[in-house]
Amino acid sequence: MSILFLIPGVMLFSFYTYISFIASEGISGVFRMCILLSGCLFIYLYSVSLCKKNKDKAVKIMKYTFIFFFLIYIVFLLDMLFFDSYFGRNREGQGIFSGSFSFKELLKDNMNIIPFATIISFFRDFSFYRFIVNILGNLLAFAPLGFFYPLIFKKMNSPLLLVAGVASTVFIIESAQLLFSCGSFDVDDVILNTLGAYLIYTILKIPPLTSFVNKLTSGGS
């Protein structure tokens, strides 16, 4: 019976790989994310069925299942942030490594280190589209880290360490986007991305949700 979950899961991940890295032109990130989530659902059901057959190995099975989901999320995130033409990413310039402009020029035109400056500008010149993409989008992009980091890295089951870990991760990615001309470095992105992860972490600490997450990550046992 478990193979009935594994086969569609593998097929969906294969389809995602094809539409993301081979035939990605014009295919929205939302559609690809739905394909990916569907694949994860089938793999999760496959893992649960394995846990029922191998109860003594259930903890290990679910541990590796969620590590796999974490890696899938990271691949999806990096694809969106660095390579996806649908989101306006451009690999041709190669940032400062192209030699077409200096590091100083790059910082001047593509860097904001003033906290809340960008956020305030969005509300001054408000538009629903900009709010969804720049505010809500930044809150949601790294929000899964509020679930994955404490689950996989036990030391991050602390608000302070979680915030430090997520902020460091976002800082590195923002810096890489700047250097490779895949985006700009904006301290407000760091703030919003970190806040999104922290909110998820805090919400999942509500007792009924904590109990649900424990069952989810233990295969329902």
Per-residue pLDDT tens digits of the chain, which is 221 residues long: 688 999 999 999 999 999 887 776 667 778 889 999 999 999 999 999 999 998 889 999 999 999 999 999 999 999 888 887 666 665 554 555 555 566 666 677 788 899 999 889 888 887 888 788 789 999 999 999 999 999 999 999 999 999 999 999 999 999 998 888 787 899 999 999 999 999 999 999 999 999 999 999 987 66
Smallest CA-to-CA distance from 140 within 82, 70, 77, 65 is with 77
Can you give the pLDDT at residue 123?
A: 83
Give pLDDT, residue 217: 93
pLDDT given for residue 111 in this prediction? 87
How many other C-beta atoms are found inside a 10 Å radius of the C-beta of residue 166?
Answer: 24
User: Which residues, including other chains, have CB under 8 Å from residue 204's CB and lie 6 or more apart?
Assistant: 146, 147, 210, 213
State the Cα angle at 110 between 93 and 128, rounded to 5°: 105
217-to-25, 64, 71 alpha-carbon distances in Å? 35, 10, 16
Confidence at residue 86, expressed as pLDDT on a 0 to 100 scale: 63
Integer-rounded Cα Rg, in Å, for the chain is 20
* Separation of alpha carbons 136 and 129, rounded Å: 10
| Nearest-angstrom CA–CA distance, 78 and 113 | 23
Residue keyed to tokens 């700047």: 178
Q: How many helices (H) and strands (E) does the chain have?
A: 11, 2
Distance (Å, whole) CA 218 – CA 221: 6
> In residues, how long is the chain?
221
**pLDDT score recorded for residue 42:** 97
